[in-house]
Amino acid sequence: MSTSRYDFKETDPFAPIVYIYQNTALLHEEKTEYQALQVRQHPYFGRMLILDGVVQLTERDEFFYHEMLVHPVLHAHPDPKHVLIIGGGDGGSLREVLRHKGVESVTMAEIDARVVAVSKEYFPTLRTGFDDPRAQVIFTDGIKHVEAPPRLYDAIIVDSTDPVGPAVNLFSADFYKAAVEALTPNGFFVTQSESLMFHAGFVSEVHNRLKAAFPIADCYAQAIATYAGNWWTFSVGSKELNPRTPKRKPRIDTRYYSSEVHRKAFLPGALMKKLAAGTIDW
Amino acid sequence: MSTSRYDFKETDPFAPIVYIYQNTALLHEEKTEYQALQVRQHPYFGRMLILDGVVQLTERDEFFYHEMLVHPVLHAHPDPKHVLIIGGGDGGSLREVLRHKGVESVTMAEIDARVVAVSKEYFPTLRTGFDDPRAQVIFTDGIKHVEAPPRLYDAIIVDSTDPVGPAVNLFSADFYKAAVEALTPNGFFVTQSESLMFHAGFVSEVHNRLKAAFPIADCYAQAIATYAGNWWTFSVGSKELNPRTPKRKPRIDTRYYSSEVHRKAFLPGALMKKLAAGTIDW
């Protein structure tokens, strides 16, 4: 294990600002079958998971991303029992889903077994879900799993890297159509969908692909300081239910998510119209 | 004028991430009486105003900041006529205030005349307000102006740099007490107040100082990609009116602000409680 002090320079090809994390220590580094993987320690952010040169999470602020990816759809659904996570090998989304006592099974389809193994070793606050008897981790391409699902899910949660490399097809129209078929009649689909500031055109594309596949498509956002562009979007497809309306108060411990956060996070109507029209002009 | 290609490395002492803007050209550089001033051109963000090594605005995204600093309080007030801007020498806040047809006078108290002169030269989309007959620019310490105001204002808008150097006293309890006295009975005070992610403790301090001075204190936020921490806060003091409630629909052209944006931007109640208690734990 190397622990040399190092300024980590993020190499996100989609970001017009380069982020530098100073005085990090390299705890782990490897080339997996799918991507370059690093774990670093930062004096402010704690441990950081870095895939292909892009920060995926930091111990300090990961809860914003994982709570906001998972809890809106699980609270907009009256009683989610069976949940599929695609990606999310670090365990953060799994941890959040399992906080819901009513959830009976969580399947995680992660393509890269090394992400799970390394996260289990280096991220004690994220790995808590892996030992839960309700959790099942499958190392497979999530798209194949959704195309031939062993069961229908109440929620499908896509916790992916940026839309390049292994993740690119997770943002495709075909995948979204398959997801509709893999959901129960009142099921929800949610995916992280990049920055509303830096990638507004891409967010529009995702929204319109979801709109073509699902009766209802919607979008919400949360500021996340370690994701370039920061104004991070989450795009939702729904077969029947309105994702803007929480069906119940959280009965779980959250650090940030609440019913009020839920309602406020969804984009204003005028912005949704521009998103659908592809006319966001910044 | 130098136009050398240069990666500009932001030197914000309060930010745990260093931002690098690649391939900028230096258009202007000087040491003013108060601060180091640069204007750079960036391929994505356009022209950037940099004070003491920190990006103050970029042509591309400044409208988020200026609209969100100015329009919430001017719409929460039934009929603002006389407005004071402290700082804001680039002209962006002045431009937004003057969009309100009912506004009869805008006084800008800017300590650094060079910021105004350089902005007039380099930022054509920001300088539009300086020639308006309703605008008056005074080069003075805004605190002195507020302590002996020539008139009462319906709104005081603090468009300052970070709380160091010339701006530090603009975040003090004494200044807030003086601001109360310089406002009409239903007047509003608003100040930019740093990042909810990186400077939550500071945002709490500002909130509690405002709460001690004003009958009502409140806080809202907007993601801004070029401000370190990004989840940028705006702190409000009010003598009588609820800042969360817009009194009328915008009758002005905005790129982002709307009544719905206004309502959603204010922090959720649970977070306001933590802010007041100083217990934000991230």
A159 given a catalytic annotation: yes
Residue B145 in domain: yes
Nearest-neighbour CA in chain A from B52: distance (Å): 19
Q: What is the pLDDT of residues A125-162, one digit of tens each?
A: 999 999 999 999 999 999 999 999 999 999 999 999 99
Give Cα B126 to chain centroid, integer Å: 14
pLDDT of residue B2: 54
Q: What is the mean pLDDT of chain A?
A: 96
Q: What is the pLDDT of residues A31-62, one digit of tens each?
A: 999 999 999 999 999 999 999 999 999 999 99
Pick from B32, B58, B84: which residue ends a domain?
Answer: B58
Task: Please indicate, yes or no, whether residues A169 and A266 belong to a single structural domain of this protein.
Answer: yes
Instruction: Supply the CATH number for residue A10's domain.
Output: 2.30.140.10
Instruction: Supply the CATH number for residue A256's domain.
Output: 3.40.50.150
Report CB contact under 8 Å: A21, B19: no
Report CB contact under 8 Å: B18, A19: yes
Task: Please indicate, yes or no, whether residues B152 and B197 belong to a single structural domain of this protein.
Answer: yes
Nearest-neighbour CA in chain B from A92: distance (Å): 17
Q: What is the pLDDT of residues B102-148, one digit of tens each?
A: 999 999 999 999 999 999 999 999 999 999 999 999 999 999 999 99
Residue A123 in domain: yes
Residue B212 in domain: yes
Task: Please indicate, yes or no, whether residues B66 and B168 belong to a single structural domain of this protein.
Answer: yes
The pairing of beta strand B135-139 with beta strand A153-159:
unpaired
Q: What is the pLDDT of residues B50-64, one digit of tens each?
A: 999 999 999 999 999
The pairing of beta strand B153-159 with beta strand B135-139:
unpaired
Pick from B18, B38, B58: which residue ends a domain?
Answer: B58
Could you tell me how many CB contacts below 8 A there are between chain A and chain B? 97
Report CB contact under 8 Å: B225, A230: yes
Q: What is the pLDDT of residues B152-204, one digit of tens each?
A: 999 999 999 999 877 899 999 999 999 999 999 999 999 999 999 999 999 99
Q: What is the pLDDT of residues B64-112, one digit of tens each?
A: 999 999 999 999 999 999 999 999 999 999 999 999 999 999 999 999 9
Place of tokens 């020639």: B131
Does ipTM surpass 0.90 in this model?
yes
Tell me if A85 sits within 8 A of A97, measured CB to CB. yes
Residue A282 in domain: no
On whether the pTM is more than 0.95, the answer is: yes
Burial status of residue B115 (CB atoms within 10 A of its CB: 0-12, 13-18, 19 or more)? buried
Task: Please indicate, yes or no, whether residues A73 and A53 belong to a single structural domain of this protein.
Answer: no
Task: Please indicate, yes or no, whether residues B52 and B67 belong to a single structural domain of this protein.
Answer: no
Residue A255 in domain: yes
pLDDT at B3 over 90: no
Task: Please indicate, yes or no, whether residues B49 and B73 belong to a single structural domain of this protein.
Answer: no
pLDDT at B13 over 90: no
Confidence label for B14 from pLDDT (cuts 50, 70 and 90): confident
Nearest-neighbour CA in chain A from B195: distance (Å): 10
Report CB contact under 8 Å: B18, A16: no
User: Of the listed A52, A112, A159, A162, which one is catalytic?
Assistant: A159
Is the dihedral angle over the CA atoms B64, B65, B69, B70 positive or is it negative? negative
Task: Please indicate, yes or no, whether residues B136 and B218 belong to a single structural domain of this protein.
Answer: yes
Bridge partners, residue B29, by sequence: B38
User: Which residue is closest to A7 within chain B, CA to CA?
Assistant: B18
Q: What is the pLDDT of residues A159-191, one digit of tens each?
A: 999 998 778 999 999 999 999 999 999 999 999
Q: What is the mean pLDDT of chain B?
A: 96
Task: Please indicate, yes or no, whether residues B131 and B234 belong to a single structural domain of this protein.
Answer: yes
Pick from B34, B58, B82: which residue ends a domain?
Answer: B58
Nearest-neighbour CA in chain A from B282: distance (Å): 7
Task: Please indicate, yes or no, whether residues A139 and A214 belong to a single structural domain of this protein.
Answer: yes
Task: Please indicate, yes or no, whether residues A41 and A137 belong to a single structural domain of this protein.
Answer: no
Q: What is the pLDDT of residues A7-29, one digit of tens each?
A: 999 998 889 999 999 999 999 99
Is the dihedral angle over the CA atoms B68, B161, B207, A249 positive or is it negative? positive
Task: Please indicate, yes or no, whether residues B23 and B50 belong to a single structural domain of this protein.
Answer: yes
Question: What Rg, from alpha-carbon coordinates, does chain A have?
Answer: 18
Report CB contact under 8 Å: A268, B282: no
Place of tokens 């895939």: A51
Of A22, A44, A229, the CB nearest to B225: A229
- Residue numbers in A near B261 (CB within 8 A): 268, 271
Task: Give the whole-angstrom CA distance, residue B192 versus residue B66.
Answer: 10
How many domains in chain A?
A: 2
pLDDT at A1 over 60: no
Query: In a mutagenesis test of the B interface, which of A6, A17, A255, A282 is the best target, namely the one with the most B β-carbons within 10 Å?
Result: A17
Report CB contact under 8 Å: A221, B221: no
Domain that holds residue A186: 62-277
Residue B282 in domain: no
- Give the amino acid at B178: A
Nearest one of A150, A145, A153, A159 to A188, comparing CA atoms = A153
Residue B81 in domain: yes
Give Cα A265 to chain centroid, integer Å: 16
Residue A43 in domain: yes
pLDDT of residue B276: 98
Confidence label for B4 from pLDDT (cuts 50, 70 and 90): low
- Give the side-chain half-sphere CA count within 13 A for B121: 12
Q: What is the pLDDT of residues A88-111, one digit of tens each?
A: 999 999 999 999 999 999 999 999
pLDDT of residue A13: 86
Bridge partners, residue B38, by sequence: B29, B50
Task: Please indicate, yes or no, whether residues A209 and A266 belong to a single structural domain of this protein.
Answer: yes
